[in-house]
Amino acid sequence: MDSLSLFSALGGSLTTFVAFVVALSIIVAVHEYGHYIVGRWSGIEAEVFSLGFGPVIFSRVDKRGTRWQLAALPFGGYVKFVGDANAASVGSEGDPDATPPARNTMAGAPLWARAATVSAGPIFNFIMSIAIFAAIATLNGTPRQPLTVGSVNTVPYAVDLRPGDEVLEIGGIKVPGPGDALTFDELLRQLPVESNVDYLLRRGGVETTVSTAHPMPAVVVQLAPQSAAYESGMQQGDVITHVEGKEILAFRQLQQAVLAAEGAPLALTVWRDGEVLDVTLSAKRVDEPQPGGGYETNWRIGIVGGMLFRPATEQLSPLQGIEAGVNMTTSIITGSFSGLYHMVSGAISSCNMSGPLGIAQVSGAMARQGFENFIYFIGVLSTAVGLLNLFPIPVLDGGHLTFYAYEAVTGRKPSERALQFLMTLGLTVILSLTAFALFNDFFCP
């Protein structure tokens, strides 16, 4: 490897590491702060709030006596409540037959206070995800009606569209609005693939027809991390003009060529800011969720296409943004359950489960694609962390909530012996799943 390639590889690895640590630290800090603040509100005092594990780099003690510290290993964190034998996200239950502990400890607090404190971590993760998705949706807005040209993407051919043009028809088909039976995706599928398509516009208050490029060319708007296109060095803004020497006028032609190749190498001609490049890549098999439920295996190179122009947008109200944030978070949760079910049933490959290395690679890839993509990824990962922590596995928050449910039903806490056994079992399950996910990181394609 030459010095330039080595420098590039080291730089990429550093970006990946820093992005992963930043994403994880933000998510862990929010999760643990949820435990801390709700515990405090419930009368449970905290001794230590730690971001990271291992040797302490920095610490300070606040007026309540809680030590806030930053530790050397930035791969997690914890809150140690008063009376805990061991530092953990939540306190130990203790021996139910021993002298009753003080009210300001986790073990001595009422059941409702313990349950609220434990559940607060995942809930704060979900709240953060909703806030991130709501902010992105609010700032990006919703397409103005009627469909209006905001800006025109840079492509290797002349485009007779201008900012402010209202697009009324494309290829003789009326552009659908909210509530119309025809969707914009269906309109695109109905259009013939031609080098010139007629657009009926309202320009400066006057209706006019122009003939220009297909509204959905093979332009790269986004690259999926760890995809064939990403690994080949393709970039946002690239335009694919040919596949195996055949001219590509519309994104769906590229999709058809990728599906037909079934993973065989494809030679692409790519236009990038006036420069023509040759790229060879092979599509990867992916399991994709379907609108009606279930999954379908397809071949994908990992490109998200975009329109010839960026639509002008109108800003959402805060309430609309929150609604979008809630819907996105809910969609991730339901999609996670669906994916887990289909993975366990064998309907999709277990390689869909990524470990810490895979997550780190995605962190770096999203960071390189821009701030918004990185923040969006943090929102997705925060939802996943919150959901994972609610699984009824001892050592996780969901395991503690299961113990509290048992206590609520029976009127007594599980015995110390039972707790120790279940905690050991839970830790074994978590370590086994982590090892399996790491195996996927190394050996799955």
CATH code of the domain covering residue 198? 2.30.42
Residue 169 located in a structural domain: yes
The domain tally of the chain equals: 3
pLDDT digits (tens, 9 = 90+) for 53-72: 999 999 999 999 999 999 99
Q: 311 pairs with which residues across the strands? A: 149
Q: 201 pairs with which residues across the strands? A: 167, 208
Q: 300 pairs with which residues across the strands? A: 284
pLDDT digits (tens, 9 = 90+) for 76-110: 999 999 876 544 444 444 454 555 678 888 888 99
Residue 417 located in a structural domain: yes
Residue 50 located in a structural domain: yes
pLDDT digits (tens, 9 = 90+) for 241-282: 999 999 999 999 999 999 999 999 999 999 999 999 999 999
Q: Retrieve residue 262's tokens.
A: 């079934």
Whether 151 and 128 map to the same domain: the answer is no
Q: Rounded to the nearest 5°, which phi and psi values hold at 383? A: -60, -45
pLDDT at residue 292 is higher than 80: no
Residue 363 located in a structural domain: no
Largest CA distance in the chain: 86
Whether 8 and 132 map to the same domain: the answer is yes
pLDDT digits (tens, 9 = 90+) for 196-217: 899 999 999 999 999 999 999 9
pLDDT band at 443 (very low <50, low <70, confident <90, very high): confident
pLDDT at residue 294 is higher than 70: no
Query: What pLDDT score was predicted for residue 120?
Result: 98
Q: Encode burial over 374-384: b for 16+ CB neighbours within 10 A, e otherwise.
A: bbbbbbbbbbb
pLDDT band at 33 (very low <50, low <70, confident <90, very high): very high
Residue 362 located in a structural domain: no
Q: How many CA atoms lie within 13 A of 233 on its CB side?
A: 9
**The pairing of beta strand 173-174 with beta strand 166-170:** antiparallel
pLDDT digits (tens, 9 = 90+) for 393-420: 999 999 999 999 999 999 999 998 999 9
Q: Retrieve residue 146's tokens.
A: 């009627």
CATH code of the domain covering residue 300? 2.30.42.10
Query: What pLDDT score was predicted for residue 192?
Result: 86
pLDDT at residue 376 is higher than 80: yes
Residue 436 located in a structural domain: yes
Whether 85 and 129 map to the same domain: the answer is yes
pLDDT digits (tens, 9 = 90+) for 114-169: 999 999 999 999 999 999 999 999 999 988 889 999 999 888 988 899 999 999 99
Q: What percent of the chain clears pLDDT 70, i.e. is strictly above it?
A: 92
The pTM of this model reads 0.82
Tokens 């009326």, located at residue: 174
Report helix, strand or coil for 151: strand
What stretch of H or E contains 332?
A: helix 318-344
Whether 114 and 164 map to the same domain: the answer is no
Using the 3D structure, point to which of 165, 190, 212 is the last residue of a domain.
212
Among residues 106, 107, 23, 36, which one has the least CA distance to residue 78?
Answer: 36
Residue 298 located in a structural domain: yes
pLDDT digits (tens, 9 = 90+) for 172-189: 999 988 777 788 888 888
pLDDT at residue 2 is higher than 50: no
Q: What is the mean pLDDT of the chain?
A: 89
Q: Please give the residue range of the domain that contains residue 205.
A: 144-212
